[in-house]
Amino acid sequence: MNPLRARVRRRGRPAAEASALLIAAVVAFPLYWMVLSAFKPAGEIESSEPRPWTLAPSLDSFRRVFGQQEFGRYFLNSLLVAGCVVIASALIAFLAATAVTRFRFRLRTTLLIMFLVAQMVPVEALTIPLFFLMRDAGQLNTLGSLVLPHIAFSLPFAIWMLRGFVKAVPEALEEAAYIDGASRARFLWQILFPLVLPGLVATSVFSFISAWNDFLFAKSFIISDTSQSTLPMALLVFYKPDDPDWGGVMAASTVMTIPVLVFFVLVQRRLVSGLGGAVKD
Amino acid sequence: MSRVNDHHTETTDTDGGGAAGASAGVVPEGSVAVRARQGGGSPGRTPGKGDRGNRSGRTGSRRAASGTSPLVSGGWTPWLYLAPALVVLGGLLVYPIYQLGLISFFQYTQAQVSGGEPATFEGFGNYAELFGDPQFWQVLLATVLFAAACVVSTLAVGCALAVLLTRVRAVPRLALMLAALGAWATPAVTGSTVWLFLFDPDFGPVNRMLGLGDHSWTYGRLSAFFLVLLEVVWCSFPFVMVTVYAGIRAVPGEVLEAASLDGASQWRIWRSVLAPMLRPILVVVTIQSVIWDFKVFTQIYVMTNGGGIAGQNLVLNVYAYQQAFASSQYGLGSAIGVVMLLILLAVTSVYLRLLRRQGEEL
């Protein structure tokens, strides 16, 4: 059986592995080019003979990026918005996911379907009413106008995905805790929460990304006070359609991509299993 | 076909989906295998029979579930836990949807926004204007075709690479996985600018490599759409690849081995064995892709500079934005938003029906 299996598997493997590596190179190429261009000196970026390497890496583009346009401030703004969204939506989603997986109550199935449908709502279509809502609440030009909608939009998916993680905690543990005299709140925060935390982190990637990448709301709600701008808007400062500063754009892009990449690599394993869970259940 | 299925059923029953557990970690073991089996059993049968089979499977699993984990009824406690979520969703999702519908019935322009004139009720006036405008139909058609092209390409690339991943050893697999994760993690804005730079007529490497001189990719309507499509596929295929790969790993190796011993080609294995077994997962990633690609905004907005030359690359989302925030036609923009919402709700209801048919227990 074993040698047979090995032979079946091995047939055509060199070709498969070569193409896998080739495709990996193609997929990674845009990111490589982005980082490379960020480090290239000005003369090499805007050259009609672009080379896939540089012999004189320079930090000029990064200096330009951080020097101009209060880039550091935009970076902090983005971080603040994404951080608030991640924490708030994780806590709210944890409570809601516990409610729908650990209790049986009327309207439970209806609620679950509503959460599913809510995921499908095109948030971009709601920009107009949200704009008026934020204006009436006096939130235009504040970071709050970016935090609040993103919490709402990342919740349904977070709840849906967390269900699998909450369900995986054995029911017997809950019974044991109650028998030992723990209150509901104590079980929730001291037992269930730490156990679900890894799943919570994986789920957070999605709310982090949606808040970090947000372009439309930042563009629509932060209209006059540029000190409240976030990274995607700052990036476009360098990108003028007629005469883009490619070095600056690529350096700013690199700065903007790195936090997400780091987050992704850290939670990668959990993410894959979490997605499997969300898709399965 | 049926022989392969029977064989598969036996093996999953005995080894309880160990592969699923290995790939899933925290998630309850074996669920992919169970679901894959349900999906694999139905396509050969008539729909009615398939339904019945699934229904019996569902009651079985419910009985099993109630044996191990009884849900408690906690009085008001679940509502207490749900309260924050419901408040946030009510205020920032449901209410805006209601308002979107409301605004779409009003004449709502800059004058009304600044409070100079009262908003006047127009009934279906905005919709009449919209449906009478040839540009709207052109944009709608472009949106549907563009989304369809994106979905098909994303799924094809994602599934093909997922299969490829199962056939290579650890190092190439890791390389491809990492590259895909990188593409996945890239923010839409930076992805768009980087792809624009790659295809830049003056300084981009692609035109040099292909020897295209200073050919502009964003000038022509189709080539601009094609460029955006490449970026969209690049950043969305990883989700499909990772999900489908996790699904394939849960399929017992014996099934694939049997098929390839019987002389089935790769394509045949995919079409006759894997695709039917992975149907539930494929449904999810397809619908997810439809929804994402139908409402692409950032890529079009950045890469074609707000909708392309004379609006040739507009899609519904960008069109609504331009009508509302650039032309101050908030009522008209809202009407476009409502149209989008309705189309996506239709897609969602198809999705829910498919999930139901698969015997999904919520």
Tell me the sheet residues that pair with B72: A103
Q: Is B123 left (phi over 0), alpha (psi -120 to 50) or beta?
A: left
| B192-226 pLDDT tens trace | 999 999 998 888 888 888 888 778 888 889 999 99
B24/A277 Cβ within 8 A? yes
Question: In the 8-state DSSP scheme, what is residue B120?
Answer: E
B121, containing H or E segment: strand B120-121
The burial of B91, by beta-carbon neighbours within 10 Å (0-12 exposed, 13-18 middle, 19 or more buried), is given as middle
Rounded to an integer, the average pLDDT of A260-273 is 74
Which of B167, B256, B277, B319 best tests the A interface by mutation, with the highest count of A CBs <10 A? Answer: B167
> Which of B187, B200, B202 is the closest to A232 by Cβ?
B187
Is A127 in contact with B324 (Cβ distance < 8 A)?
yes
What residues does A103 pair with on adjacent strands? B72
User: Is any Cβ of chain B less than 8 angstroms from the Cβ of A171?
Assistant: yes
Domain boundaries of chain A, sorted by first residue: 2-58, 69-280
| CA B194 vs CA A61, A121, A255: distances in Å | 15, 29, 13
Supply angle C-alpha B21, B27, B29, rounded to 5: 35
A114 to chain B, minimum CA–CA distance in Å? 10
Chain B touched by A87 (CB under 8 Å):
no
What pLDDT, on the 0 to 100 scale, is given for residue B162? 93
Closest Cα in chain A, distance from residue B49 (Å): 23
pLDDT for residue A122: 77
Chain A contacts of B261, Cβ < 8 Å?
4, 8
Comparing alpha-carbon positions, the chain B residue that sits nearest to A92 is: B85
CB neighbour burial string for B9-44, b if at least 16 within 10 angstroms, e if fewer: eebbeeeebebbbebbbbbbbbbbbbbbbbbbbbee
Each residue's pLDDT tens digit, A22-40: 999 999 999 999 999 999 8
Reduced to 3 states (helix: H, G, I; strand: E, B; else coil), residue B268 is: helix
Q: Let me know: does A221 contact A228? Beta carbons within 8 Å.
A: no
CATH code, A69-280? 1.10.3720.10
Nearest chain B residue to A272 by CA distance is B242
Helix and strand totals (H; E) in chain B:
20, 2
- Which two three-digit tokens encode residue B235? 């950043």
State the complex-level ipTM: 0.83
Residue corresponding to tokens 């999904």:
B360
Confidence band of B159 (pLDDT split at 50, 70, 90) = very high
Cross-chain Cβ contact B203/A124 below 8 Å: no
Across the range B142-160, mean pLDDT stands at 96
The tens digit of pLDDT for each residue in B63-104 reads: 334 333 445 666 788 899 999 999 999 999 999 999 999 999
Reported as a single tens digit per residue, the pLDDT across A151-160 is 999 999 889 8
Residue A92 sits at the chain B interface (C-beta within 8 Å): yes
> Would the CB atoms of A99 and B79 count as touching at under 8 Å?
yes
Report which residue type is found at A213. Answer: N
Q: Are A256 and B189 in contact (CB under 8 A)?
A: yes
Domains of chain B: 133-357 (1.10.3720.10)
How far is the C-alpha of A77 from the C-alpha of A157, rounded, in Å?
24
Query: What is the per-residue pLDDT across A223-242, written as a single tens digit (0 to 9) for each?
Result: 877 788 888 888 877 777 67
Residue from B186, B164, B182, B181 nearest B173 by CA? B164
Residue A267 has pLDDT above 80, yes or no: no
CA distance B72 to chain A (A): 5
Look at B111 and B225; give whichever has higher pLDDT.
B225
Which chain B residues are Cβ-neighbours of A212 within 8 angstroms?
Answer: 187
DSSP state of B107: E
C-alpha torsion sign, points B230, B236, B238, B240: negative
Q: Per residue in A181-210, is it b (16+ CB within 10 Å) or e — as a string?
A: eeeeeebbeebbeebbebbbbbbbbbbbbb
- B48: distance to nearest CA of chain A, Å? 23
> Rounded to the nearest 10 degrees, what angle do helices A246-280 and A13-39 cross at?
140
